[in-house]
Amino acid sequence: MNQLSHTQYRHSTRLFTDQVIDLATLENIIRTASHAPSWENAQPWKVYLATGDTVKQIRTSHEKAVQDKAKSWTEVTPPLDWKPDQQKNIEHWQTALGDFFNSDELQAFHTAGKKLYHAAAIVYITIPKNASAYLAYDAGAFGYGVLLAAKDAGIGTIPAYEMIRYPDEIRAHFDISSDEALLMGIALGYPASSKINDLKTDRRPLKNFLQIKD
């Protein structure tokens, strides 16, 4: 299977099994992703990998924060509003969820994040605070490299805001410099057999976002 096929068949996994991922496999995923392009090879990302007991402790802390309705925040400003075409895509996705799941399944889908999708491992990506959009682009390329390398290794993934909405629960376990900002968390694990993981989202036709000048 070539890389294009990986991209075509990659999709978000929202529920994982209890199976542990071999550390060598995780290191190889990150090593492969590190070949992502960046501005003059600056490689502005730093990576923090939570596994084993650390993941369990973070998950416990996260569930409690959600249950207590603790105020969440992120170190990189999330989207605050959407353009009309982006809002249309979001609404289409939300409608698709309602069509695919019954009410109980939809509830399970929306609450999976509260338990961090039961991930076996979480990759946290940071960039320098107040970094330009170019560095965020570079880190995004690295993050997508993680998704593709994990797919190649038979590992499911999901990058999600949920993973980094309580930065303190992450910083409590890692020596993350004060001049770094948590940009994204990626949950990894072996996909569970669940309808939650059967959801496939469509993509816009090229004509909706591609302009060609010959």
**What is the SS3 assignment for the chain?**
CCHHHHHHHCCECCCECCCCCCHHHHHHHHHHHCCCCCHHHCCCCEEEEEEHHHHHHHHHHHHHHHHCCCCCCCCCCCCCCCCHHHHHHHHHHHHHHHHHCCHHHHHHHHHHHHHHHHCCEEEEEEEECCCCHHHHHHHHHHHHHHHHHHHHCCCEEEEEHHHHCCHHHHHCCCCCCCCEEEEEEEEEECECCCHHHHCCCCCCCHHHCCCCCC
Q: Per residue of the chain (214 residues), what is the pLDDT tens digit? A: 444 444 457 889 999 999 999 999 999 999 999 999 999 999 999 999 999 999 999 999 999 999 999 998 899 998 889 999 999 999 999 999 999 999 999 999 999 999 999 999 999 999 999 999 999 999 999 999 999 999 999 999 999 999 999 999 999 999 999 999 999 999 999 999 999 999 988 888 999 999 999 9
Give the model's pLDDT for residue 11.
87
- What is 3-208's CATH number, 3.40.109.10, 3.30.572.10, 1.10.40.50, 3.40.1550.20? 3.40.109.10
Give the model's pLDDT for residue 8.
53
Q: Do the Cβ atoms of 187 and 163 come closer than 8 Å? A: yes
